[in-house]
Amino acid sequence: MRLLNRLDWALAALAALNAAVYAGCILATRRFRSAKPVVAADRRWWDLPLRALAVMALVAAVVLTGRLIGPDAAGIVALVPMVFTSLVLILHDRIGGPATAAVMAHSLPGMIGFTAAVITLAVTVIPLGAPTALTLALFVSVAWNGSLIIIQRFRKPAPAYAR
């Protein structure tokens, strides 16, 4: 992580690195996209409080780690682990492992919209000011994810992958 912080990254290089990572992750997880939910597991009274505690512990760990390694590194590592771990903790017992993996695999293309929104924010916040830059970033994220929904509606069903 410290090596990444020491490099003088150009925006184009960061965008290319993100594109390569997303492409690799989307290809690596494509076999998980066809899973269906299983029957919900019996819930115990302590399931939800335990999951909430686990998510809070994860948030606390990221905050403490950020204090130790710096806010730049914490910002880089915080988003995906917190969002995805929270989803896994909540969904796994409810819909099963394969369906939870499908949720994670289907979430990756949407994360590209988040990356595009952050890039938009970084490029526009100084010249346009925070309110306009945040509005543009929100528009980019919503437009990207809206276009994914539209494309999905017109796409043929994907073949089921063998397990």
State the pLDDT at residue 23: 92
Residues 109 and 153 grouped into a single domain:
yes
Question: CA distances (Å), 124 to each of 10, 11, 42, 100, 130, in order?
Answer: 16, 13, 49, 36, 8
Helix axes 97-128, 11-28, angle to 10 degrees: 170
Q: Which two tokens stand for residue 60?
A: 């606390």
Q: Is the pLDDT confidence value at 90 over 70?
A: yes
Check residue 138 and give its pLDDT. Answer: 93
Do the domain assignments include residue 69? yes
Domain count, the chain: 2
Task: Report whether pLDDT(45) > 90.
Answer: no
> 19-40 pLDDT, tens per residue?
898 899 899 988 888 777 666 6
- Considering the domain architecture, whether residues 124 and 145 belong to the same structural domain is answered as yes
- 50 shares its domain with 88: yes
Virtual CA dihedral for 24, 139, 70, 73, nearest 10 degrees?
0
Amino acid present at 94: R
Residues 112 and 89 in one domain: no
pLDDT at 34: 78
Span 46-78, pLDDT tens digits: 777 877 787 777 777 777 877 787 766 666 656
Residue 153 inside a domain? The answer is: yes
Contact call for residues 66 and 135 (beta carbons, < 8 A): no
Whether the pLDDT of residue 156 is over 90: the answer is no
Place 41 in a pLDDT band, splitting at 50, 70 and 90: low
In a shared domain, residues 111 and 91: no
Which of 95, 113, 133 is the endpoint of a domain? 95
Task: Summarize the confidence of residues 111-131 as an average pLDDT.
Answer: 90
Is residue 81's pLDDT more than 70? no
With b for 16 or more beta-carbon neighbours within 10 A and e for fewer, the 61-90 pattern comes to: ebeeebeeeeeebbeeebeeeeeeebebbb
4 inside domain: no
Say whether both 132 and 56 belong to one domain. Answer: no
Phi-psi domain of 133 (left: phi exceeds 0; alpha: psi -120 through 50; beta: other): alpha
Domain region containing 53: 46-95
Q: Please indicate, yes or no, if residue 100 is contained in any of the structural domains.
A: no
At 146, the pLDDT band (50, 70, 90 cuts) reads very high
> Is 5 a member of any domain?
no
Cα 156 from chain centre: 25
pLDDT at 32: 85
**Per the domain annotation, does 151 fall within a domain?**
yes
